[in-house]
Amino acid sequence: AQSVTQLGSHVSVSEGALVLLRCNYSSSVPPYLFWYVQYPNQGLQLLLKYTSAATLVKGINGFEAEFKKSETSFHLTKPSAHMSDAAEYFCAAGGTSYGKLTFGQGTILTVHP
Amino acid sequence: DAGITQSPRHKVTETGTPVTLRCHQTENHRYMYWYRQDPGHGLRLIHYSYGVKDTDKGEVSDGYSVSRSKTEDFLLTLESATSSQTSVYFCAISDQTGGSYNEQFFGPGTRLTVL
């Protein structure tokens, strides 16, 4: 069974600092990988997705993620954090069986002025 | 934004009562999913549908049933609600392009409290 692990349930950064949110997946076959963002009291919004076309994936709001097969990782980064980035972020894997996804536990990002 | 609505958006009910949550889409997507979100657990799949009247269980299906009689509607029923089913419930939809599954689009969620 597939599993997704997000290291760190809470990450705190200063405005303008690098954002790094970690995600590791377990699968013998590289799955499709996704990052979603959830703002308070809202549904999930797709940030970016990896579907084997390119290992470096660019998403919305300046975020990007790099797929590293050797490390089974798909970490999310943003060079400079903005106050509006404060939200909960979810990594997800799957999409090969009826489109089903397995989600990580989520990481709450706090951005300090 | 994908056309997905969920109703009700908030509900408070008592233990032992039946509850039905509705997900409605206007995108004509084939696949629909129900998740529950709990702190520390991310989102967990309850049930999913791959077509009208075609449904299957997900990771946490005990105590839940679903029905899909039309492409646009996917109903989640708690036959006899328990306090452990207090959660936020999300519906999602997706489709296929060229044989590959596309990303899922999520509804706004339903906050259910079982007293």
Interval B53-104: pLDDT, tens: 999 999 999 999 999 999 999 999 999 999 999 999 999 999 887 767 778 9
Chain A environment of B99 (Cβ under 8 Å): none
What are the structure tokens assigned to B20, written together? 């039905």
Q: Are B40 and A90 a contacting pair at CB < 8 A?
A: no
pLDDT of residue A4: 93
Does B42 score more than 80 pLDDT?
yes
Which residues have a Cβ under 8 Å from the Cβ of A53 and sit 6 or more positions away? none
> What pLDDT shows up at residue A26?
87
Comparing C-alpha atoms, which of B81, B75, B78, B76 is closest to residue B114? B81
> Each residue of A1-10: pLDDT tens digit?
778 999 999 9
**What value does the mean pLDDT take over residues A4-24?**
96
Mean of per-residue pLDDT scores for chain A:
91
pLDDT of residue A38: 96
Looking only at Cα atoms, what is the longest distance across chain A?
43
Q: Which of A4, A43, A45 has the CB atom closest to B109's CB atom?
A: A43
Alpha carbon distance, N-terminus to C-terminus of chain B: 34
Q: Does the pLDDT value for residue A30 go beyond 70?
A: no
Q: Please check the confidence at residue B20 and state whether its pLDDT lies above 70.
A: yes
Using a CB-CB distance cutoff of 8 angstroms, which residues of chain B are in contact with residue A101?
43, 45, 104
Token match 């999930």: residue? A44
Per-residue confidence at A95, pLDDT binned at 50, 70, 90? Answer: low
The pLDDT assigned to A104 comes to 94
Instruction: Single out the residue of A84, A100, A89, A94 nearest to residue A65, CA to CA.
Output: A89
| pLDDT for residue B96 | 80
Residue type, A34: F
Tokens of A40: 């308070």
Closest CA to B90 of B30, B23, B3: B23
- 3-class secondary structure, B95: coil
More confident residue, A32 or B18: B18
Q: Minimal Cα distance from A42: which residue of B?
A: B108
Query: Reduced to 3 states, what is the DSSP secondary structure of residue B40?
Result: coil
Contact A44 B106 (CB under 8 A): yes
**Averaged pLDDT of chain B:** 94
Kindly tell me if the per-residue pLDDT of B16 is higher than 90.
yes
As a whole number of angstroms, the distance between CA B103 and CA A48 comes to 9
More confident residue, A55 or B32: B32
Interface with A, mutate which of B103, B105, B110 (most A CBs under 10 A): B103
- Place A97 in a pLDDT band, splitting at 50, 70 and 90: confident
Among B42, B45, B100, beta carbon nearest to A104: B42
A101 with B100: Cβ contact below 8 A: no
Residues A47-73 have a mean pLDDT of 91
Q: What is the CA radius of gyration of chain A?
A: 13
Q: How many angstroms separate the CA of residue A108 from the nearest CA in chain B?
A: 11
**Which residues, 6 or more positions from A45, have their beta carbon under 8 angstroms from its beta carbon?**
A36, A37, A38, A39, B106
Query: Does residue B18 sit in helix, strand or coil?
Result: coil
Q: Is B43:B34 a contact under the CB 8 Å cutoff?
A: no
**Percent of the residues in chain B that have a pLDDT greater than 90, as a whole number:** 88
Is residue B88 within 8 Å of B107, Cβ to Cβ? no
Q: Which of A92, A98, A102 comes nearest B31 by C-beta?
A: A98
| Residue A83: predicted pLDDT | 96
